[in-house]
Amino acid sequence: MGKDEKRLRKAYAWLSDRQLLAALGYYRAYPKEIDELIEANGADEGTVLERLPFARRSPR
C-alpha cells in the first residue's frame, strides 16, 4: 500500500490511529526485518491456508 495512509486506514480499520502510527514507526525503524518477515510469510493464499486452515472464509 506504499505510503498511502488513507488506504492503510481502510485496510486496517480495526487498528486505532495510535496502533497504526506505531506500526508505521516500527517499519520505518526496521524495514529490512519487516520486509523479510512479509516475504517469509508468503503472499500465496494456498500457502497461507495450508499453514492456517482456520483462516478459510465461511461460505456465504
Residue 21: inside a domain: yes
Residue 12: inside a domain: yes
Residue 33: its H or E element: helix 31-41
Integer CA distances (angstroms), 12 to 7, 20, 29, 51, in order: 8, 8, 20, 22
Q: What pLDDT, on a 0 to 100 scale, did the predictor assign at position 1?
A: 60
For cell 472464509, name the residue.
57
The mean per-residue pLDDT over the stretch 29-50 comes to: 79
- In this prediction, residue 37 has a pLDDT band, given cuts at 50, 70 and 90, of confident
Residue 60: inside a domain: no
Is the separation of the CB atoms in 36 and 48 below 8 Å?
Answer: no
The boundaries of the domain holding residue 11 are 5-54
Residue 46: inside a domain: yes
Total count of domains within the chain:
1
**pLDDT at residue 27 tops 70:** yes
- In this prediction, residue 13 has a pLDDT band, given cuts at 50, 70 and 90, of confident
